[in-house]
Amino acid sequence: MFESKENTNVRLPFGLRDIFPFESSERNAIKRIISSQFRRWGYGEVKTPVMEYTENISIGVGKDWKDKLINFIDADGSLISLRADMTIPIARLAGMRIKKDQVPARFCYFSDVFRQSGAQIGDKRVYSQAGLEFIGSKNQINADAEVLIVLIRIMHDLGLSEFKLGLGHIGFIDGLSDWFGFDEIQKERLKKKIVLKDFVGIENDLNAIDKKKTGLFMDLLQPENNIEKISDAVKKIDTKSVSDVFKYLKKLTALLEEQDCGKCILFDFSIIRDFDYYTGLLFEVYSPKITEIIGSGGRYDGLIRKFGLDVPATGFAIDIDLVHSAIGDADLIKDFKVLLAASGCGCSLKDAIRFADSLRKKKVNVEILFDDIDDEEKIAREKNCKILIKPLKDLSEFDLIDLESGRSGRYDLKTFIEELKGWKKN
C-alpha cells in the first residue's frame, strides 16, 4: 500500500496549498498588527486542539454545515472532526474550564480551520483565521461596541482605509418574520434564502402573502448608510422586536461614533450567518478590492451554555488570506535583509558567519550564499533582500549593491555599520 513508485503523480489533496517564505512573512506581519490590538485591549491567546468530537463541533454549525465537516474515526471508534471554526471550540473551552467568578474573559486566537469543499479549482479547505471572543460580560451593548471598535482599529492598522463594516441583527429578521405571521419552518426557509442572497425568490414568496408588506421588507434588506432612513421604515412596522432591535443598533452606532468609528458603518439586515449559534448582533467586513467577506462575527449568547457555563458572548474572526489579498502590494515586511555572497571571496564558514553576525547584532537579517551563482542580484531580489554584499578576499572590504535604488560602492564593515541607520531609512 505504501510502496514508493517513481511515476507517482506528486500533488496535494484538493483545497490545500503550500506557502513560501515571502508570503509567510507577509502573513506573519498581518498577524503581528492584529495581535498588537488584541494585546492592547487585554485579550489573551488561547489554543484548542485541531480535532474535537464531532458531536461537540456539530453544536450550532447548522444542518447544511454538517456536510462541510472533515470527519475521521478515532482509534476507539469515536467520530471526530477537524474544527470548522474557532468560536465553537472556544465556547467548549469556556464551558468546561471557566468558573462563574472568572468572567468576563477576553480570548483571542490565530488558528487554521478546516471545511469540506468541492473539488473545483480555487476551492479552499483550510482557512487561516485571527479572532477574538469576549465572554461573560452582562453589559451587552458595551461588549458589542468593544469588539467592533477593536475590529475597526485593526482594519485601519492594516491600511484598509476604504473598508466597510456591515451591521445586521438576527432579531430584525425574526421580527419581520413575526410581522408576516411566519411559523418556524417558514422562518428557517426565509433565513436560508437570505443566506443564499436569493432575493428574487424571497420577493416572489412574500408577494403571495402581502404585496404591501413585501415592498417594505425588500427595502429593508437593501444596505443603507443613513440610519434615519431606516427609522422611517421601522415606524411603519408595528412589531416591538423590530423596534427594539433598531433602538439597539442606533445606540450602538452612537457609541461607535464617539470613538470616531462611525464612518465605515453600513446597515445591512440581509446579513445572516450560516452558523446556528448567533442570537443578536451580526456584522461583516468588506473591502472594495476583493469580493469575499474578509471578517465577520456577532453575538452568541446561548452557545457556551451547551458546554456548561451559562454566559453571554460576542466576537469575530478575520480571514488572514483574504486580508492579505485586500492589502495587495503594500509593503508589509519592514525587515532589513542582506544577501552575503560569500562564495567568491574564498573565506571560511567561520569567517562568513562572524561577518554576518556583526550585522545581525545591528538587527539586520543576513542570508549567506555559499554557492557560485551566475546572477547574484537576481537571486537576492527573489529573496526580497534590500542589499547584496560581495566580500573581497580577506573580508576587510566588500562591494555593496542597493537593490532598490541601484546605488553601489565599496565599503569596509565599520563604515557600513556606522551608516546603517541611513541605509535602513532609505
Q: What is the pLDDT of residues 19-51, one digit of tens each?
A: 888 888 889 999 999 999 999 999 999 999 999
Comparing 344 with 385, the larger pLDDT belongs to 385
pLDDT in tens, 351-406: 889 999 999 988 889 999 988 888 999 999 988 888 999 988 778 889 999 988 88
Q: Where is mean pLDDT largest: 63-67, 129-133, 160-164, 244-248?
A: 129-133
What are 267's strand-pairing partners?
Answer: 167, 224
Percentage of the chain modeled with pLDDT above 90: 44
Which grid cell is 86? 474557532
For 332-357, what is the mean pLDDT? 85
Q: Where is mean pLDDT largest: 181-195, 262-276, 307-321, 366-380?
A: 307-321
Comparing 375 with 421, the larger pLDDT belongs to 375
Residue 424's pLDDT is what? 65
CATH number for the segment(s) 337-425: 3.40.50.800
For 337-351, what is the mean pLDDT? 86
For 202-214, what is the mean pLDDT? 86
* Residues ≥6 apart with Cβ < 8 Å to 344: 372, 390, 391
Count of other CB atoms within 10 angstroms of residue 404: 11
Residue 406's pLDDT is what? 86
Comparing 404 with 2, the larger pLDDT belongs to 404
pLDDT in tens, 69-94: 899 999 999 999 999 999 999 999 99
Residue 1's pLDDT is what? 47
For 224-228, what is the mean pLDDT? 85
CATH number for the segment(s) 21-327: 3.30.930.10
Domain boundaries, the chain: 21-327, 337-425
